[in-house]
Amino acid sequence: MKIRHLFTAAVLALAAMSITSCTQKKFHVSGTITDAKDSLLYFENMGLNGPVTVDSVKLGADGSFSFAAKAPGNPEFYRLRIDRQLINVAIDSTEDVKINASYPTMSYKYNVEGSEECAKIKELAMMQMNLQTQINAIANNPSVPYEKETDSIKVVLNNYKNTVKNDYIFKAPMKAYSYFALFQTVVLGGRPLNIFDAHSSKADVQVYAAVATSWDTYYPKSERGENLHNIALAGMRDLRIVQAQQAQTLPANKVSVSGVIEIALPDHEGVVRKLTSLKGKVVLLDFHVFASKNSTQRIMWLRDLYNKYHAQGLEIYQVSLDPDEHFWKEQVAALPWICVRDENGSIQAASAYNVQQVPTFFLIDKNNVLQKRDVQIKNIDAEIKSLL
């Protein structure tokens, strides 16, 4: 299941998303926008290359409208627009979404029914507006010294990002509103800036990777997933270039190298298991989704390896990326090796190891040094034996 990431300027105008698995059915968006008689209401698809009009209607005195469109096979974005007033709409499969608003305040004063996704996107849009208000207040406050202005803005930005990450994205990275949140912007110094910037922040790269990993599981090979994949890869590349440049300026005695990136997550009984605690054993570090199509075959393959080599010193440390904790616990209860999972921690671990597809595994030697990943291994038995 490949995870792909890329950024285009058009995504800055993200609006609504349609998630569906049936390409022969339709979804519906209807409602009223009052005080807009004779205005032209557009229903637009926001593709990665920019907006495309799906349909439009000239509103009557009552402001009623109704749009229907063929449900796409993968997540997609749409919006309702009158002039520069926009309403973001999230579509989940073939549901009916009802929206009521009044012009010209439709962008922030509207009611939505029939979609949790739409409700969450509205929350995020309102939060974004409040963030912009805070930034404007700081920038226009004559009592804030110029040298403190940047720091003050960073504080409100970081507070916003932490709230969005913890309350929205990490809780449900597969959702439309999580994707939407990644591309929110603010205007600073007269130009739009990405709130989450994968090209300048390691933490932000991890947020993109979290959504990408989840979307890869739920919507494999989707264009949006490829978009996310390329964003994270580009961000990792840019940050590594900066880190390499910084490392060249550090004294050799200040540079430390770790053989393996630590993972410390709870198993199904709640006991935190550290990857580095397995020093002295050969470790197969596995990233897996038990809800995936071929999970049973994968587990049987791992069990065979475990049965053959565990007595000789092989251990399996398996990180689950499953969104359903209860389901995961049921699946791993009878497994003899170490299985860990934490909604945020698992995603961060996958990002730290640059996991671009699941399942993926790595081999770690007895000294806690990562030796090879699956794509470099032709004969797994021979590789394990050489490390034992």
Q: Which two tokens stand for residue 146?
A: 């110029």
For CA atoms 366, 361, 264, 258, give the dihedral sign. positive
Provide the pLDDT for residue 50: 81
**Averaged over 76-95, what is the pLDDT?**
86
How much of the chain, in percent, has pLDDT values that exceed 90? 45
d(CA 29, CA 14): 17
| Helices (H) then strands (E): counts for the chain | 9, 19
pTM across the whole model: 0.58
pLDDT number for residue 211 = 87
Whether residue 178 has pLDDT greater than 70? yes
Instruction: 153-160: list long-range contacts, CB under 8 Å, 24+ apart.
Output: 153/188, 156/131, 157/131, 157/186, 157/195, 160/127, 160/131, 160/195
Tokens standing for 54? 């799906």
pLDDT class for 11, splitting at 50, 70, 90? Answer: very low
**What confidence score (pLDDT) does residue 5 get?**
36
Contact, 386 vs 366, CB < 8 A? Answer: no
| Count of positions (residues) in the chain | 388
In 3D space, the residue among 364, 352, 280, 355 whose CA is nearest the CA of residue 317 turns out to be: 364
Closest CA to 234 of 200, 261, 207, 210: 200
DSSP strands (E only) in 221-303: 264-266, 272-274, 282-288
DSSP 63-84: -EEEEEEEPPSS-EEEEEEETT
Cα gap 303→316, rounded to integer Å? 9
pLDDT, tens only, 32-79? 999 999 999 999 988 877 888 999 999 999 999 999 988 877 777 889
Q: Is the pLDDT of residue 287 over 90?
A: yes
Cis amide prior to 192 (ω within 30 degrees): no
Question: What is the pLDDT averaged over residues 100-124?
Answer: 91
At residue 147, the pLDDT reads 63
Binning the chain into helix, strand and coil, the percentages to the nearest 5 are 40, 25, 30
Instruction: Sketch out the chain's domains with CATH numbers.
Output: 26-113 (2.60.40.180), 124-245 (no CATH), 264-387 (3.40.30.10)
Are 92 and 19 contacting, i.e. CB atoms less than 8 angstroms apart?
Answer: yes
Of the pLDDT bands very low, low, confident and very high (cuts 50, 70, 90), residue 341 is very high
Instruction: Using pLDDT thresholds of 50, 70 and 90, give the confidence band for residue 232.
Output: confident
Parallel/antiparallel/unpaired status of strands 40-47 and 50-58: antiparallel
Instruction: Taking residues 83-101, report their average pLDDT.
Output: 86
Give the confidence band of 23 by pLDDT, cuts at 50, 70, 90: very low
Q: What's residue 130's pLDDT? A: 94
- Whether the per-residue pLDDT at 22 is higher than 70: the answer is no
Q: What is the pLDDT of residue 37?
A: 95
Mean pLDDT of 4-23: 33
